[in-house]
Structure 1
Amino acid sequence: MARDASLWVRKALQSAQKADAAVAAIVGARVYGQNPPADPVWPFTKLPPLTVVPMRATGLDGTRYSIRISGFAKGVDDTEAALLGGAISACLDGRSIALTEAPWPARLTDIRWTGTDIIRDPAEATGWHAIVAFEGVVTA
């Protein structure tokens, strides 16, 4: 039976970013879930909703996740956002992370960075937004 582990995947992804020296050097502890503070201090990261698809095959039971982590940084150009995006991709690409808070034994595995888009943030004159995309699989 495929199980939706989205809650625990989000928590594990946030913990991994907070524990990563390169990400923390840029954002400190400002690694948020779906709802950052109303007026967050920049730079910071945010984890929008995940896309979850069940996987059912002989001998395999799990879920595939499409993950997008948003990194927000300010600057006269996109340099700071690019550095943050690079830190996020390096932090997670190729990792396997135990979902320690899940009520059943599970891991987020096969985390694969699939690309980064950097756009100007429409709400801030000097704001930039790195959208870092990954795919991963949870098997239980």
Structure 2
Amino acid sequence: MTYPHTQSYFVSYLVLAMLLLMAPACTGRSSDQPKADLTGEYRIVGGERNGVPIDQNELDNASIYISDTTIIAYDKERKEMFAATYTLDTKQTPWHITMISTKSPDVGAIAKGLIKAEQEKVKLVYALPNGQPPTEFKAGQEQQMFDMVKAGQASG
């Protein structure tokens, strides 16, 4: 004896399973691709410019806000120092980032770099104007790098 509702349950489960399997394709993300969630407020705990450490006084109380599409940096007086839209290529390791400045006088300037996120920490290195995109997490000539932690987290 066959139960008519059993077949409809089977079809429902089959449709649900197909939808779950298709979801990564519909969002443009592959299921094995790392999730690129960098959103949040960060504080800078270290940095390099042109291969030399940045004076900690310059970094103290500076903050970075990252949304799904923008990065904005503020100095200790809460003055906007840098603003850009960004895109990530998470198919490569480390991830590649392309930032396009939205702040005058550098509107439209493109900075390419590398970014990695580990738990509550983010490391970002990128080329300054006229610099070559970095190939490692060390700021070379015409490059800048920042070590950041999510606001409220220990810097260790």
- Higher RCO (C-alpha 8 Å, min separation 6): 1
Q: Kindly name which structure, 1 or 2, has the bigger radius of gyration based on alpha carbons.
A: 2
Higher helix share: 1
| TM-score, structure 2 normalization | 0.31
- After TM superposition, the score normalised by the length of structure 1 is 0.33
